[in-house]
Amino acid sequence: MTELNYVEKFANYLNGEKKSINTVKEYTNLIKQFLEFLKKDPREVTMEDIDKYKEYLAIEKNYSKQTIYITMKALQSFFKYLKIKDLYKLQAPKRSRKLPSYLNEKEMANILNAAKENERNYIILLTLAYSGLRVSELSSLKIEDIDFYDNFIHVRSGKGDKDRLVAIDENVLKIIKNYLNKEKRSEGYLFISQKGTKITSTHIERIVKYYAQKAGIKKKVTPHTIRHTFATILLKNGADIRFIQQILGHSTIATTQIYTHVDEDALKEVYEKTKPHY
């Protein structure tokens, strides 16, 4: 079997496992890179080969722990597909737990104000800021997924192929409704390109980057930064951690708990109230 056949059949396996489009794309690309490095039939791979590849990624390519972690997860899935038991039980390195980057409310407001020159782009940013959706979820959002009566967004097949309900501000939905009425659209994807096709995640990332720079924000801002901002503000304003877990679509509370460490103002406030007085 050729390298290309292995990658194609692996992609089919992942689709059969109901993995997300992004996961299929990422894992198959990582396996393609691995096979190019390997230069041998993957059924003949040994743990020594994998150790050499990890060393290559860390030293030659200078990849981060996070990238190596995802690569090892991809390899686990690949060897599970090949039914090579000794290899699909390989251990991925510990995932790094960096504190998420986020904006303060003034910075987020400045980005929204900068985007008011373009109605569609403004609403894209507004929806991200008030819902905490992942960029892939926003890109795939259809008009029929929005409940304008009860103020909910239905996320279909989010991460882990899970559906969930996300509450959103009533005023944001009014702005979205007016926008759709102007465009005379009542079905299809909520956000479309100039060609009338579904807007891509990459396009949304460019929009976020452009308006962050226009607002004078020096730090790197991505759709995920806005998601972190949303979660941090919810927590700061007293939202229960389990509510935040539900609205963000985290599979475990451990993922959500990282937000309990990022609000600097809250940390200072608690410290001032509880510090010792020697």
Q: Where are the beta strands (DSSP E) in 71-199?
A: 146-147, 152-155, 164-167
Torsion of CA 211, 216, 220, 225, to 10 degrees: -60
Active site residues: 134, 159, 224, 227, 250, 259
What whole-number distance in Å separates Cα of residue 131 and Cα of residue 37?
Answer: 41
Q: Are 121 and 110 in contact (CB under 8 A)?
A: no
Residue among 241, 208, 237 at smallest CA distance from 224: 208
The token pair at 194 is 């100039």
Q: Is 128 helix (H, G, I), strand (E, B) or coil?
A: helix
